[in-house]
């Protein structure tokens, strides 16, 4: 990683951003803007259009026309693949620039951001580009004299609303399969992480994506997001974010055209460590990284550590030592292992969870405070809380910050009860040398993904989705196409 280039990019001014609608750049229809505040130093970085209902409607109309006239939806899969592969190449060529821009906007440490953001988006777009001309229809096993064919067709206009923690990665999880399938998209980024998605939308036009096929409108969820959710011209809505917003999107679907809604709503993921874990030091390292990297702002973060009582004290002490050695600070320094919290609002929410735990008599083993206030940015020390009870808010609700709740257990059954003791079911992990136990835990824990002797790192070949109040539908893998392709039966009498 070229440190001098990072420093040069850090100092570059960032031009005011503009919507991408119908293949052109636009200001908000009423000229209003929002400040983009960098969590690195709390200073304004640039501005975004404060999108209006009219802006959202223009983007939806553009996407609808683009889909209906077939400029993209009726291109062959091989033609779509060619454009998408060129798009991926253009993103890859600007990977470092995109990573630095994203870090300046949302605070993820650069070592993680480069891999998890532009390079991840490149891999995702290439994956779905290569896959689309390898999906076949079906011939049904019908009686003589009849022929049943099952066609796969693009679902239509997709509304995509994505979060601020990994905008390029999660955005690509939506855009890759949707565009490969032939859909048109209206994308609404998060207010605090829009710049890189706007930039790759421009690169998509450079790659030959027709105008109107990908539109990006920035603004507030209550305006732009609501317009997309309530539109009669949006056929599919995909969202990653909070449960409260997910519920509002479902209500909007019911009020409008009953569009299909797919939701990834986060989690309160358990990381279960048995005394026979194959390597406690490795489990400590992975546990710390699984909650404290990106300042805990990861959907699948292992926010609950469930550790067998016989090793509880030893494990927590090792974890404390490792966590206190992590470098929290300037996210554009490649030596940093945990960057900034995304916003002042998010930092305050994190600290409130800790204050509540302290008031309830829980032990703050380390952290629990804002640090580096002299920078003007938003930084929080990795925080470990022990003595957490199953009914505590810290054990039940997603913090989305570097705060780990620790609970001991005495038996496998108790571990399962604790693991399944929330409304969520996105991710989990189990550390054990007992192969039979590992399989039992995978079966018994209610989660979309269960890691064994690791945490995180699964690639595009496997789906990511949750159960319970973690949502429905899947990103990643070939199963992601299910959201963006409709099945149509053709029935012939021969």
Domain shared by 95 and 209, yes or no: yes
Q: Is residue 465 part of a domain?
A: no
Domain shared by 331 and 253, yes or no: no
Which range marks the domain in which residue 401 is found? 270-459
Residue 457 scores a pLDDT above 90: no
Domain shared by 112 and 235, yes or no: yes
Q: What is the tens place of the pLDDT at every residue in 119-155?
A: 999 999 999 999 999 999 999 999 999 999 999 999 9
Query: At CA 287, angle to CA 124 and CA 42, rounded to 5?
Result: 70
Q: Mean per-residue pLDDT for 406-431?
A: 98
Q: Is residue 350 part of a domain?
A: yes
Residue 36 scores a pLDDT above 80: yes
Q: Is residue 231 part of a domain?
A: yes
Domain shared by 204 and 60, yes or no: yes
Block residue for tokens 């889909």? 67
Residue 227 scores a pLDDT above 90: yes
Domain shared by 162 and 110, yes or no: yes
Residue 204 scores a pLDDT above 80: yes
Active site residue 264: yes
pTM of the model: 0.97
Q: Is residue 379 part of a domain?
A: yes
**Integer angstrom CA distances of residue 345 from 317, 331, 390, 484:** 31, 19, 26, 35
Residue 57 scores a pLDDT above 90: yes
What is the band of 2 on the pLDDT scale with cuts at 50, 70, 90? confident
What is the band of 1 on the pLDDT scale with cuts at 50, 70, 90? confident
Catalytic residue among 105, 117, 230, 264: 264
Q: Where are the alpha helices (DSSP H) in 331-480?
A: 344-359, 393-396, 412-419, 435-444
Domain count within the chain: 2
Q: Is residue 464 part of a domain?
A: no
Residue 179 scores a pLDDT above 90: yes
Q: Is residue 376 part of a domain?
A: yes
Domain shared by 116 and 258, yes or no: yes
Domain shared by 261 and 335, yes or no: no
Q: Is 414 exposed, middle or buried (0-12, 13-18, 19+ CB in 10 A)?
A: middle
Q: What is the tens place of the pLDDT at every residue in 289-312?
A: 999 999 999 999 999 999 999 999
Q: Mean per-residue pLDDT for 158-184?
A: 98
Print burial letters for 415-441: b (CB count within 10 Å at least 16), e (below 16).
bbebbbbbebbbbbbbbbeeeebbeeb
Domain shared by 225 and 373, yes or no: no
Domain shared by 70 and 141, yes or no: yes
Domain shared by 224 and 237, yes or no: yes
What is the band of 314 on the pLDDT scale with cuts at 50, 70, 90? very high
Q: How many residues does the chain have?
A: 494
Residue 262 scores a pLDDT above 80: yes
Domain shared by 336 and 232, yes or no: no
CATH number at residue 148: 3.40.605.10
Q: Mean per-residue pLDDT for 248-264?
A: 98
Q: What is the mean pLDDT of the chain?
A: 98
Domain shared by 210 and 123, yes or no: yes
């Amino acid at each position: 990683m070229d440190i001098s280039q990072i420093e040069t990019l850090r100092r570059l001014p960032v031009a005011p951003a503009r919507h991408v609608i119908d293949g052109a750049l636009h200001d908000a229809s009423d000229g209003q803007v929002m400040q983009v505040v960098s969590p690195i130093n709390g200073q304004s970085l640039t501005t975004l259009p404060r999108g209006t209902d009219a802006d959202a409607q223009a983007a939806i109309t553009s996407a609808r026309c683009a889909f209906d006239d077939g400029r993209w939806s009726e291109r062959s899969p091989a033609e779509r693949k060619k454009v998408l592969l060129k798009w991926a190449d253009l993103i890859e060529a600007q990977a470092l620039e995109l990573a630095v821009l994203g870090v300046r906007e949302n605070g993820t440490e650069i070592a993680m951001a480069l891999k998890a953001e532009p390079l991840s988006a490149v891999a995702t777009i290439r994956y779905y580009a290569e896959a689309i001309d390898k999906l076949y229809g079906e011939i049904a096993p019908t009686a003589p004299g009849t022929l049943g064919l099952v066609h796969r067709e693009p679902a239509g206009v997709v509304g995509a609303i994505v979060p601020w923690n990994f905008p390029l990665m999660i955005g690509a999880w939506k855009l890759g399969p949707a565009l490969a399938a032939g859909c048109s998209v209206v994308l609404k980024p998060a207010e605090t992480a829009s710049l890189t998605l706007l930039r790759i939308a421009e690169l998509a036009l450079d790659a030959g994506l027709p105008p109107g096929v990908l539109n990006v409108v920035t603004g507030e969820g209550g305006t732009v997001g609501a317009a997309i959710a309530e539109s009669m011209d949006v056929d599919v809505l995909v969202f990653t974010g909070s449960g409260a917003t997910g519920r509002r999107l479902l209500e909007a679907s019911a009020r409008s055209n009953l569009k299909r809604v797919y939701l990834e709503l986060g989690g309160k993921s358990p990381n279960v460590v048995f005394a026979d874990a194959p390597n406690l030091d490795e489990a400590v390292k992975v546990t710390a990284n699984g909650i404290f990297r990106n300042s805990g702002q990861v959907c699948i973060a292992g926010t609950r550590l469930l550790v067998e009582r016989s090793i509880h004290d030893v494990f927590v002490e090792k974890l404390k030592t490792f966590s206190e050695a992590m470098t929290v600070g300037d996210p554009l320094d490649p030596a940093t292992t945990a960057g900034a919290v995304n916003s002042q609002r998010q930092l305050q929410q994190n600290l409130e969870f800790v204050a509540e735990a302290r008031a309830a008599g829980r032990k703050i083993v380390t952290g629990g405070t804002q640090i580096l206030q002299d920078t003007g940015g938003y930084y929080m020390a990795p925080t470990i809380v022990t003595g957490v009870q199953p009914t505590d808010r810290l054990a039940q609700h997603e913090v989305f910050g570097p705060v780990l709740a620790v609970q001991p257990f005495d038996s496998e059954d108790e571990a399962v009860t604790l693991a399944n003791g929330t409304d969520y079911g996105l991710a989990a992990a189990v550390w054990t040398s007992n192969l039979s136990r590992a399989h039992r835990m995978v079966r018994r824990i209610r989660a979309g993904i269960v890691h064994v002797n690791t945490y995180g790192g699964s690639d595009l070949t496997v789906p990511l989705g949750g159960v319970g109040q973690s949502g429905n539908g899947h990103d990643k893998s070939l199963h992601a196409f299910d959201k963006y392709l409709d099945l149509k039966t053709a029935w012939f009498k021969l």
